[in-house]
Amino acid sequence: MSIFEIKGLVREYDGEPALKNININIGAQALGVIGKSGSGKTTLLKILAGLLTPSQGKLSFNGTEVTPAVLLDLRRRVTMVFQTPQFLNGTVRTNLSYGLRIRGVSDEEIKRKVSDALDLVSLEAYGERYARNLSGGEQQRVALARALILDPEVLLLDEPTSNLDPVNVSLITDILVQESEKRLVVISTHDLDQVKRIAKHVIFLEEGIITEQGDPYKLDSVNRFTENVYTGISNVEKGVSQVHVGDIIIRTSSPLTGRISLHVRPQDIIISKGWIETSARNQFRGLITGVNERDGIVMIDIDVGEVFTVQITRRSFNEMSLKLGEPVNISFKASSVLPL
Amino acid sequence: MSWGTISEGLAEAVRLILSLDPTVISITLRSIETAGFATFLASIIGIPLSLVLTMKNFPGRGTIKFLFNSLVGIPTVTLGLVLYMLLSRTGPLGHLKLLYSVQGMAIGQAMLILPISVTFIVSALESKMGEVNDLARTLGASETQVALAVLRESFNGVSLAIISSFNRAFAELGIATMLGANITDLTRVLTTAIALETNKGQFGLSFALSLILISVVLLMNYLIRVLQGGET
């Protein structure tokens, strides 16, 4: 049986639709929600969490229609972890205890559970630390522990690891892989490695509509994105993010730090025979490793340390007389590098 | 007024305070009692009302907030006059015998400071609402528990609003004059006494009472810093 059933779901903000006609049944298997910023991921998760109500349509949880009367019960069984963790004023312990205290759990049991939860996120000694003073990664681990301590039937996570360093990303991802065995996990993320590790089923949201869904390894939109998708560590210098991907540095105009995934559309990359003077902030040199033609369009793979797929027309391809194994330069603007 | 009169007045003021003059002490205590009672009334009405105005969405909410915001600047004598007419012996509420009593003054001051309390408490709650609301809810809090969490997180702002309200009541003259009429040993408070003694040319007592007035206000503001755990 489905845990969530969503029929004809619409959510508007001041008349502007954020979600348009969402229909999906969510079973027990971990669900990944992918899509660009503003595609409706957060809105969808907040509706599942009982924090937002649909403008139209029906949402059922465990076979019961979600109405205002059952919202509290839903929220006691479904817990959400937000992209930017928020904390109650006080220590890590105060924060971890809160959900248990309002459920009337005894002090002794709270103490035991807090200690277990801190172990789970490898923050054993952090109980008395002031939550708001922790680093970003530690805060998100506390937020995760604060949700898991309640042993929810459903754990919702809204881009839980965006802007975190790789150590924290892998620590949190490992925990989520384990947790997805015990409860329904719904995660929205920009990290394609993460979604493939955690989710068994993925929906792809575009402007409030599910445009594709399926196995994360087979999904076209994931594969479409896996062409020219790079994951690396970003530092912001002089307003430009420098993303270290393997041995190369990709510059993007999005001011992001931490571990991020980037996408460069094949049609946004220019090929030249040698170094060119250009305003494009990214230029690399490498060898052509693949040439594929389809419908008058040529897809060329160029290995510059990372493989870039470049789309050019048949005509350009002929005029430049490009050949496999030949060295070429590629260039693209920092603003063509899209964060996922 | 010569510098001599001023310095004599100040010297007299210091003498009165240091000698713990019984008149000065009784007036001060009455002021604290009146403003304290007013603040208590304004808080027990203002805090729940502010929580409702912050957390609940209902038609007319904006209007109520606008009304309270506007009433922040209500002239004390105007409010005093209206209440005087209501509470006077022949007025509609005359039978309550509240005119010329500490309770009467306190109720008047409570009405004066309720808009201040509500306006500043709502603003304090709203500033924490965004971060606490979804968090408390997703951790399983009921409406009441969410309200309590928001209130607890807004402690600094709410306590500042309450102390400011107390200070406003403590330092106001219009309502105390209209409803209290500065009756010795009955309704005489710091502000009415200062006004009267100054008229009588008793600058020493006026200065003494003014110093106390300011000191209490400063002390309250100091207390709030300590309470909020900030730097003192």
> Over 50: is that where the pLDDT of B232 sits?
no
User: Are residue A238 and residue A273 in the same domain, yes or no?
Assistant: yes
> Over 90: is that where the pLDDT of A163 sits?
no
Residue B119: how many CB atoms within 10 A of its CB?
A: 21
Q: Which domain holds residue A246?
A: 229-339
A41: CATH: 3.40.50.300
User: Are residue A105 and residue A77 in the same domain, yes or no?
Assistant: yes
Core vs surface per residue A321-338: b (16+ CB within 10 A) or e: ebeeeeebbbbbbbebbb
User: Are residue A140 and residue A22 in the same domain, yes or no?
Assistant: yes
Core vs surface per residue B151-186: b (16+ CB within 10 A) or e: bebbebbbbbbbbbbbbbbbbbbbbbbbbbebeeee
Q: Does A33 touch chain B (CB under 8 A)?
A: no
Q: Nearest CA of chain B to the CA of A52: how many Å? A: 9
Contacts of B149 in chain A (CB under 8 A): 88, 98
CB nearest B137 (choices: A75, A87, A146): A75
Domain ranges of chain B: 3-227
Contacts of A72 in chain B (CB under 8 A): 140, 142
Of A225, A246, A266, the domain-final residue: A225
User: Are residue A195 and residue A240 in the same domain, yes or no?
Assistant: no
Quick one: what percent of chain A has pLDDT higher than 90? 60
User: Are residue A198 and residue A248 in the same domain, yes or no?
Assistant: no
B134 with A72: Cβ contact below 8 A: no
Model pLDDT, residue A232: 87
State pLDDT tens for residues A293-332: 766 678 899 999 999 999 888 888 888 888 899 999 999 9
> What pTM was computed for the model?
0.76
The residue among A194, A179, A181 whose CA lies nearest residue A260 is: A194
| Widest distance between CA atoms in chain B | 69
A103 with B137: Cβ contact below 8 A: no
User: Are residue A106 and residue A140 in the same domain, yes or no?
Assistant: yes
A198, A236 Cβ separation under 8 angstroms: no
- Cβ-based burial of B230 (10 A; exposed 0-12, middle 13-18, buried ≥19): exposed
**Residue pairs between chains A and B whose CB atoms are closer than 8 Å:** 52
Q: Which range (A57-71, A170-184, A245-259, B173-187) has the least confidence?
A: A245-259
User: Are residue A207 and residue A269 in the same domain, yes or no?
Assistant: no
A327: CATH: 2.40.50.100
Q: Does A79 touch chain B (CB under 8 A)?
A: yes
A325, A288 Cβ separation under 8 angstroms: yes
Q: Which residue has the higher pLDDT, A118 or A255?
A: A118
Task: State the ipTM, two decimals.
Answer: 0.79
* Three-point CA angle B43, B48, B54, nearest 5°: 120
The answer as to CATH 3.40.50.720 being correct for domain B3-227 is no
User: Are residue A211 and residue A286 in the same domain, yes or no?
Assistant: no
User: Are residue A23 and residue A121 in the same domain, yes or no?
Assistant: yes
As a whole number of Å, the end-to-end CA separation of chain B is 38
State pLDDT tens for residues A23-51: 999 998 999 998 877 789 999 999 999 99
User: Are residue A258 and residue A280 in the same domain, yes or no?
Assistant: yes
CB nearest B139 (choices: A46, A89, A99): A99
> Over 80: is that where the pLDDT of A238 sits?
no
Q: Which range (A40-44, A114-118, A256-260, B14-18) has the least confidence?
A: A256-260
Contacts of B131 in chain A (CB under 8 A): 86
User: Are residue A220 and residue A236 in the same domain, yes or no?
Assistant: no
Q: DSSP code of A124?
A: G
B182, B192 Cβ separation under 8 angstroms: yes
User: Are residue A112 and residue A165 in the same domain, yes or no?
Assistant: yes
Contacts of A78 in chain B (CB under 8 A): 138
Number of domains within chain A: 2
